[in-house]
Structures are given as structure tokens and as C-alpha cells.
Chains A and B, each alone.
Chain A
């Protein structure tokens, strides 16, 4: 039974029916952090349709909530002022655990309700609209990976994130191992119950390769709705871990040799009909697919900045460590940047494998759609399909940016991608990455080590 407000019109009646007296607002900042307030029902209703205020630096702060003092965006006030969180009532759901609590996803807006293009959710909606203007829509899903530990967050911090006890049966780094899954099942059952309550369909979960690592697959939907589901699912995983005295982390690289990725599967549709599979075309690949792939590949180097947002993300991009290191593609090739699946009309899709576990799903999907749009505009084919293993290959095959500043420079140079994503917003993003890079190095961290630093654990373990 769906309990969401979506499809209804009488908000008060819905709040009464679900006994909701408090609403938690949630918006996503540049670093992918969930921000918001707990509002009394009266306050929430009174502030509609624009929503309640919050400080403008909430969208202009780093991952430690330190305001961005060293660069500027025009959405900000001359001193420190307010902006608003505009609720998208289509996303309103009851909590499921706390009987009087509801949740709603919001966009950052100006106080008069006008959009702020820098807002990640607003940006993704803009890109979706650009596709809609061409008669196209997107179906997508994200693979969510995380590590689950028997230690509480407080205990993990006390142990300085070292020697934590992973949830699982085996000290071996197994995958799909049902005995490990069985250990995680009580936790995951609570997570899945809440996903069901929120109206977030899921498809499967399994034991992943790292000790205590789990992968969760959500059912595909449109990009903005999917990104909403991802941020909610991550919040649910975090809250369930807290309630059970465990800890879960989506850090891109929490352990030497093992990482959390967030692969993005997507396909294009026209009037609801999938467009990638063409039985009459060579290798059954439609011209639209070829052009879309061409755009994704030509912009992949620049897109890494959004797909791998933190210094920690780049510890993941190592040869033979599972994540891709080249801007390559291949059908059923999981070692390339893009894996193409094109064996049937309905399942034909692209799996974009570059994304790190700490990416912002709105911005990641936006940069992927922008890359595809570049391809539809340029109508150029991708480079030849890569059929070999994508690691350990000669230096003549260019590697993806291997650090946060190289990725930022590649994005800076990508004129078409920048234009689609709004140059001022891209510049602000690049400055924010430079800021993160400076803080990383200010802490005196060895960037070449495969082992994450204490600074990274303290900054990202419980936050991304």
C-alpha cells in the first residue's frame, strides 16, 4: 500500500490521516550531505509553498559546514543571509517508525521561491527538462555500496576508525557469500521495511567483496526521483545503523584494496519506449545509443570531478582494484569506464562505472545527462569498443584523472559540458573542489598512500 502524498491534493487531510504533526525537510548540498530541519506541522504549512528559511551558507559550505569564504556565487547574500527550502510535496511520506513524523524532499531556492541553479536537485531537473525538450526521458538506477560494522559510530570514532569489526561470518573477502549476508540480514530487513514504507522499490541486496560490504539495488525510475531515493536510502541505512548500535559508511575508499562505488545504470526512452536496442542496427546498437555513448566518452574525463568528488574518491581509482581507470567502453566489460548491456530491448542500458560511493547522486546524474546531451548534439561515435581488460594496459591509453585537481582542470576545459551545467555553477564547483584539496593537503596527508588518513575518516566516515 502506498502511503506517499504523491497523487493526492488535500495536504491537511493527508497529514491528518497519517497523524503527522512534525515534518522533516531534506535537501542535498554540493557534497551530497542531507540538510534540513524538523518543523512543526503549523510552521510547515504556514511556510508553503516556498518553505522555511535557512542560512544561505548551507549551500555554500564545505563538508565540515565551514562557509566557503574564499570564492563567490551570486546566489549568496552580501553578508550572510537566508535562502529557503522549497518542499516538493510529491515526495512527502510518513516516517514509518516515528508515528507523527513526515519527510519531504526540498530544493534550495531564493526567498521569493525563484530557483537557485547551483542547487543539485534543481540542476538535475533542468537537465531532465532539456532531454524532455528533445522528446526523451531517462530511466536509471544507482548501485548503493556501503561497509557495515558492528561498532557504533561513537565507538568507531573512539577507535579512530581502526580495527573495526565488520558485520559478517568470514574473515575472507568473499562476495555473494550467503553466510555473510545472513549476518547482515537483520539489519537489512529493517532497512528494506523502511524503504517499503517510503515507497522506494528495491530489487536485491548482497554481500559485496570487502569485509562487511553490502550492495543494495533499487528499482529504476526517472533521474530526479531516483536521486531522491538514493539520498533517502542512504539516510535510512545510516539511521538503522544508529538504532542497532552499528555503523555504516559510504566513504569511497575506507580500506586499502576495497572501495565503495556507485555505478549508474541508465537508458533513454521516447514516449515510454526504450531507444538503445535496435534489432536492425549493427550489433543491435541504435544510432541514438552510439551518439549518447560518444558524448559520455568524450566528456568522461571532465565528468570525473562530479563522479569522484573528494580526495578520498581518488584512492579508489587504482589499476586492478575493480574501478575503471580509463575512458573506455565495452559490451559486458566491467573493467571499462562504461559497460554496455545491449542484448534485449527492455534491458538494453549503459552502466556508468566511474562513480564513487561518496558522489552526490543529483550532480552525478546531471553530469551524465549533460555528457549524453553533448553526444546527441555532436553526433560523433565513441572511440572503438574496448574488448580487453581495462587495467595494466600501456600508457598510450589515457587514464582518467587520478586526483581531485586534475579532474577539476579537465572539467574547466570542457566547454560544452560547462555550458550545459551552467558555467558559473561549474566554476563554483571547481573552486569548492580546490578548497577540499587544500584542506586535504593542509592536514599533511600522503596523497600516494593506499591507506586513508585519519583526516579522511573524520571528515567522511559518518557524513557522506
Chain B
């Protein structure tokens, strides 16, 4: 059994820690961020009653992730051990939207099943709030000379961040913006896949993308 080395410890006073191995894959880091946010939002009681081990499998890549749950928090690893709970789904961290999954193996405790679903489902802030938080925190944007105008083309809601001379315009659906600024996708991916229209210099696209990747990886924004 591989030993879990605590490389990323987030000891928020009110929430348990979520640990990943040093060689964590994007699937693990992405899942760890979702868990971390949910534990911070819902608190330690979220874990009460959930069995100590959960096996998750991504349907496409067949990658398996094990969650070891204790009173102190959750550890993620790729080494498989027996578990009474199996979660099967699309956990692809690059798809730009939340994981879609089903909880299998006949676990007949609806209340706990709902808790588990809440634990694995990303807590999403309204996109203007998430965007402002991201740009305020990111070293790529916070001291930049950018004015970033963001428009939700389906709700026509608009948000402007910054007062710099470098203009950036981002237009997308509310859903895409929500996923982007909550750390589920990366700007350049959304642009290349046609989900976002972005008018800016190559430098500013790169800097904002960098900030969204840091957020996606939960890496020091």
C-alpha cells in the first residue's frame, strides 16, 4: 500500500484537511479542490456517517481514486483497497464542467448517499463573485493594468473588474462563466472549444488563462 505523504495540507480552523499524494494527477487535484471547498463550506459534519473508504472510478480512463476518510479529513490516492462504496462517473477534470457520477454497490442509506453526493458536487459561487475573487487574488491579475469586462450572453449580466488601460472582453453563457471562475475549466480551453469569446492581447489571454489554471489546480491563487 502506498504511503500517503501530506504535501498539501490546508488546515483551516473549521474544516478538515484534504491530502493528495506528491504525484497526484489532475483528476486527484481537481477532486481535492472540490472536496476542500465543500468541507470549508459545510464543515466537518459533512463527513459524519460516511464510511472510511470510498472507491471512485472514471468511466472513460478507468482511473481509480481512493478516498480515505477520517475525523481529520480526507486522503486521496490511486492505490485500490476494498470498499463498500463505489462511485462511477465522468470525473474528467478537463471537460470544463462538474463531475457526473452515480453511487453504486447497493448502498441503501439515502441520507448518507445524499451527503456523499453533496461532498463530491462542487459548491459554485455566482460567477461575478467568483471572478472578482479570482482576479483579486491571482498574482497574474491583481497588480495588472487590465480592465476585464465579462458578459453573460444569456442573462445579459455584466461585470467589470479592474481599471487599467488594457481592455479584455469575455463573453459566454452564465453556465460557462460559472464553471470557469469556480475553477472547473481554463480560459484557453474554453476559447479553443468555442465556449468563450475573448478579445484581448495574447499576453493578457495567457495571464488570465494562467490564473484560471492555478485556480483549477488550487495552486496558489
B209 within 8 A of A: yes
- 14 residue pairs of the A-B complex, CB under 8 angstroms, read A70-B188, A71-B206, A72-B206, A77-B202, A78-B203, A401-B22, A403-B23, A405-B24, A406-B7, A437-B26, A438-B94, A441-B26, A441-B94, A446-B63
Q: Is the CB of B206 within 8 A of A68?
A: yes
In the complex, which range does the number of interface residues on chain B fall in?
A: 20 to 34
Interface residues of A (CB under 8 A from B): 68-72, 76-80, 395, 401-403, 405-406, 409, 431, 434, 437-438, 441-442, 444, 446-448
**10 tightest A-B contacts by CB?**
A444-B61, A403-B23, A72-B206, A70-B209, A406-B22, A78-B201, A71-B210, A441-B26, A69-B188, A70-B188
Give min CB distance, B186 to chain A, whole Å: 7
- Chain B residue contacts of A68, Cβ below 8 A: 206
- Chain B residue contacts of A446, Cβ below 8 A: 63
- Chain A residue contacts of B7, Cβ below 8 A: 406, 409
Q: Is the CB of B22 within 8 A of A69?
A: no
Q: How far is the CA of A406 from the CA of B8 in the complex (A)?
A: 12
B175-188 CB mask vs A (1 if < 8 Å, else 0) is: 00000000000111
Task: Please name 12 further chain A to chain B contacts, defined as beta carbons within 8 Å, in addition to the given A69-B205, A70-B188, A72-B210, sorted by A numbering.
Answer: A70-B186, A70-B187, A70-B213, A71-B209, A403-B22, A405-B23, A406-B22, A438-B94, A438-B213, A441-B26, A441-B94, A444-B63
Q: How far is the CA of A431 from the CA of B188 in the complex (A)?
A: 14
Q: Is the CB of B60 within 8 A of A444?
A: yes
Known: A405-B23, A406-B23. A70 touches B63 (CB 8 A): no
Total of A-B residue pairs, C-beta within 8 Å: 63
Q: How far is the CA of A69 from the CA of B188 in the complex (A)?
A: 7
- Which of A72, A401, A441 contacts B207, CB < 8 Å? A72
Q: How far is the CA of A431 from the CA of B78 in the complex (A)?
A: 25
Give min CB distance, A387 to chain B, whole Å: 27
Chain A facing B: main interface SS: loop
Interface residues of B (CB under 8 A from A): 3, 7, 22-27, 60-61, 63, 78, 93-94, 186-188, 201-203, 205-207, 209-210, 213, 217
Give the residue among B78, B203, B205, B206 with the most A Cβ atoms within 10 A: B206
Q: Is the CB of A76 within 8 A of B186?
A: no
- Chain A residue contacts of B187, Cβ below 8 A: 70
Q: Is the CB of A448 within 8 A of B78?
A: yes
Q: How far is the CA of A359 from the CA of B70 in the complex (A)?
A: 42
- Chain B residue contacts of A395, Cβ below 8 A: 3
Give min CB distance, A243 to chain B, whole Å: 39
- Chain A residue contacts of B60, Cβ below 8 A: 444
Give min CB distance, B140 to chain A, whole Å: 8
Q: How far is the CA of A438 from the CA of B93 in the complex (A)?
A: 10
Give min CB distance, A370 to chain B, whole Å: 24
Q: Is the CB of B3 within 8 A of A438?
A: no
- Which of A78, A401, A444, A447 contacts B202, CB < 8 Å? A78
Give min CB distance, A369 to chain B, whole Å: 27
Q: How far is the CA of A431 from the CA of B26 in the complex (A)?
A: 15
